[in-house]
Amino acid sequence: MSRIDKNSAEHYSWGGICEGWHLAKAGTLSVVEERIPPGGSEIRHRHQRALQFFYVLKGVLSFEVEGTEHDLSPRQGIEIRPSVAHRVFNRSTADAEFLVISVPPSHGDREPA
């Protein structure tokens, strides 16, 4: 077992300006830390199998879930069940940093909504 942090984790970019770090990547679990700068967003989508929990570490993160918007501040989270259409975006003036926990991992389980 070894310690993991953003410096040692597998890094990826998405959405042109956003990034993430795989903190745990197993057959049944995914834990990712992501950063969305001001104005960043993802497309509206859904997962058929993955249950996801988003937990804000820094900044304000906005969600659109089935047409309803939610703003989350640090130490707040939201659960997204399978088949629920959602998207995350940052309309604030500072970076938003958050954890995404998926069971099972959501990679390859995403379709536009």
CA angle (10 as vertex; 95, 80 as ends), nearest 5 = 60
**What was the pLDDT predicted at 107?**
83
Contact criterion met (CB below 8 Å) for 69 and 63: yes
Q: How confident is the model at residue 111 (pLDDT cuts 50, 70, 90)?
A: very high
**What was the pLDDT predicted at 105?**
94
Question: Residue range 40-64: average pLDDT?
Answer: 97
Q: How confident is the model at residue 2 (pLDDT cuts 50, 70, 90)?
A: confident
Contact criterion met (CB below 8 Å) for 6 and 73: no
Question: Residue range 35-61: average pLDDT?
Answer: 97
**What was the pLDDT predicted at 69?**
96
Contact criterion met (CB below 8 Å) for 110 and 45: yes
Provide the CB-side half-sphere exposure for 90 (13 A, CA).
22
Neighbouring C-beta atoms of residue 14, cutoff 10 Å:
12
pLDDT tens digit sequence for 58-108:
999 999 999 999 999 999 999 999 999 999 999 999 999 999 999 999 988
Query: CA-CA distance, 4 to 6, in Å (whole number)?
Result: 7
Tokens 């993991």 belong to residue: 4
